[in-house]
Amino acid sequence: MKEIVCKLLVIGAGPGGYICAIRAGQLGVDTVIVEAVKAGGTCLNIGCIPSKALIHAAEEFEKVSHMAGNGGPLGITVETPKLDLAKTIAWKDGIVGRLNSGVLGLLRKAKVKIVHGRAQFRDGKTVEVETETGTQVIRAETVVIATGSEPVELPFLPFGGPVISSTDALSLKTVPQKLVVVGGGYIGLELGTAFAKMGAQVTVVEATPQILPQYDAELVKPVAKRLADLGIRVLTGARAKGLSGNALLIETAEGTEEQLEADKILVTVGRKPRTEGWGLDELDLDRAGKFLRIDDRCRTSMRGIHAIGDITGEPMLAHRAMAQGEMVAEIVAGRKRTWDKRCIPAVCFTDPEIVTAGLSPDEARAQGYDVRVGQFPFNANGRAMTMLSEDGFVRIVARADSNLVLGIQAVGAGVSELSSAFALAIEMGARLEDVAATIHAHPTRSEGFQEAALKALGHALHI
């Protein structure tokens, strides 16, 4: 097979990789992208997109289920609904297929050459790709490593049989009667909540004292309340120990052993960078723990090699990878760029949703700031009342001396759609007065953002 020579080689067509390749192609850079599985990576194919589809289907099923019988406060009554999970999964797969085809189309439009297969480094400028038609050699001036991450497997609970990963959970054709989720982080709670709404009896086992340990207790409280309302059993301070027949053996917070019967055991204890299987040992790249070390231009310790996305560390978020990919493409094209983001918003698609941008009150104080904090509850918001979803709040954190906004957090139904407004306020250097003086449409949940700023200034209008 003829050797390919290019200016830019991108390894991995996940959100970071395909954005990098598309932008480079738009700028006239001769670009090749290599992908071992499907364009779109984990996020599009087996992560963000399919999980949100399943979450939405579960929410719709639960809404209809509540209408059966007395119809609830809205006065709508329906017959007892049924769920065909296989059909739901087929619908989800259709969405994934459309987006996958869309990514491939965008790459072709940008004149990016796509090579399907697994890449293996020969050296810092050369890779071999095992394709369906044989070995393809690619030489490039610049290489971008965007190989992503994969689920962490527990040695005493290897994937297989009843033990499943998040990938497996998104392909189940029937709802398990009893589901045990090992790991109470965002992936475990998102999927556990969805299956509970679809009729599964769910138990969550979390080793730390709190579910969603990356968030402060105030944000987690409405989520914990909703889990209890759904009948989900949550065991904090508990550790999984292994299988015992058809049950998961755990050690509780009290130090006693308990067996949890389960049809499926979903292990969601985190993700790790995908650093094995493509010849990384052939390169002399500095590490930051298990991740590749990069600078503010996503350059690794070897000249001509960049790295973006999950392989470079936390936060392991698709939109971070996308922003890195776009930046690196412009650097390769000769433009002056550097990583100067003030915040990266994060969303947890639990019920209710959680959004964080910038610093929490505790984080701001830990950095030495004297802060003002304003919080507005959704039970004082007209739109939340009309949607029967009053749990949660918006919280804003600002410097006490200048009112510069340092962080914004929210928990509530649909608050993920406020994440861009939160991030924009921080990126633009907004002060409390800017947010408070901006007219927010009525009636919307976004009014909670304005009211939180007013509260921090000492004159909230609706509480």
DSSP, residue by residue, 41-103: HHHHHHSHHHHHHHHHHHHHHHHHHHHBSS-GGGT--BPPP---HHHHHHHHHHHHHHHHHHH
Rounded to the nearest integer, the mean pLDDT of the chain is: 95
Q: What is the pLDDT of residues 411-435, one digit of tens each?
A: 999 999 999 999 999 999 999 999 9
Q: What is the pLDDT of residues 157-171, one digit of tens each?
A: 999 999 999 999 999
| Whole-number pLDDT of residue 79 | 84
Alpha helices in 198-295 (DSSP H): 217-229
Pairing of strands 346-348, 201-206: unpaired
**Residue 229 reports pLDDT greater than 90:** yes
Fold match between 4-49+88-150+272-332 and 346-457?
A: no
| Whole-number pLDDT of residue 332 | 98
| Whole-number pLDDT of residue 269 | 96
As annotated, the active-site residues are 442
Cβ pair 329, 21 in contact under 8 A = yes
Q: Under CATH, what is the fold of the domain 4-49+88-150+272-332?
A: FAD/NAD(P)-binding domain (3.50.50)
What is the C-alpha separation between 215 and 409, in angstroms, rounded? 10
| Whole-number pLDDT of residue 455 | 98
Percent over 70 (pLDDT), the chain: 99
Span 288-306, mean pLDDT? 96
**Residue 39 reports pLDDT greater than 80:** yes
Question: pTM for the whole thing?
Answer: 0.94
Q: Under CATH, what is the fold of the domain 163-269?
A: FAD/NAD(P)-binding domain (3.50.50)
Tokens of 348: 């947890």
What is the C-alpha separation between 148 and 279, in angstroms, rounded? 15
The confidence band for 336, taking pLDDT boundaries of 50, 70 and 90, is very high
| Whole-number pLDDT of residue 1 | 66
| Whole-number pLDDT of residue 78 | 84
**Residue 5 reports pLDDT greater than 70:** yes
Q: Which range among 119-133, 173-187, 227-241, 364-378 shows the weakest confidence by mean pLDDT?
A: 119-133
The confidence band for 66, taking pLDDT boundaries of 50, 70 and 90, is confident
| Whole-number pLDDT of residue 71 | 67
Other C-beta atoms lying within 10 Å of the C-beta of residue 108: 13
**Residue 72 reports pLDDT greater than 80:** no
**Residue 70 reports pLDDT greater than 80:** no
| Whole-number pLDDT of residue 75 | 84
What is the C-alpha separation between 327 and 368, in angstroms, rounded? 31
The confidence band for 69, taking pLDDT boundaries of 50, 70 and 90, is low
Which CATH code, of 3.30.390.30, 3.30.470.20, 3.90.700.10, 3.40.50.720, is assigned to 346-457? 3.30.390.30
Span 127-138, mean pLDDT? 92
The confidence band for 227, taking pLDDT boundaries of 50, 70 and 90, is very high
Cβ pair 324, 315 in contact under 8 A = no
Q: Where are the domains of the chain?
A: 4-49+88-150+272-332, 163-269, 346-457
